[in-house]
Amino acid sequence: MGNRAVITTKDEQIGIYLHWNGGRDSVEAFLAACDKLGHRSPSDSGYGWARLCQVIGNYLGGSLSLGVDVYSRLDYDNGDNGTYIIEDWKIIDRKHFSGVEQLEYDLDKMVADILEKQPKQKE
């Protein structure tokens, strides 16, 4: 199985599929890490989608668990965490979710862990 989720914006054009770490606590931490890094938001540009994928991929490692596609082709009604609608690095809505919210991870600690796995910026 997995801990699946999709992340998209209000226009539901593009989305990111997570097979693991799809709980709200993880998704909020990915978004907060992108905000701390000063990345543009996916609701503003394609570069925002790229940076969000990069941050998540750097954290998860490996070659599985992360996908990006047209929203309608993703498993948005996945039976786990559904779909998060984001704007400016915040979750503003949720679809296809009726379960119990996952709150296993401390936000500040997880953000620090995510930031630790990012490449160091060249000066």
d(CA 101, CA 87): 20
Q: How many domains does the chain have?
A: 1
Residue 63 is assigned to a structural domain of this protein: yes
For residue 44, how many other CB atoms are within 10 A of its CB?
13
Q: What is the pLDDT of residues 87-100, one digit of tens each?
A: 999 999 999 999 89
CA 104 to chain centre: 16
- Report yes or no on 123 lying in a domain: no
User: Is 122 a member of any domain?
Assistant: no
Quote the domain boundaries for residue 37: 5-116
Q: Which pLDDT value is given to residue 24?
A: 97
CB atoms within 10 A of CB 14: 17
Q: How many CB atoms lie within 10 A of CB 71?
A: 18
Judge whether 88 lies within some domain.
yes
Interval 39-73: pLDDT, tens: 999 999 899 999 999 999 999 998 888 999 999 99
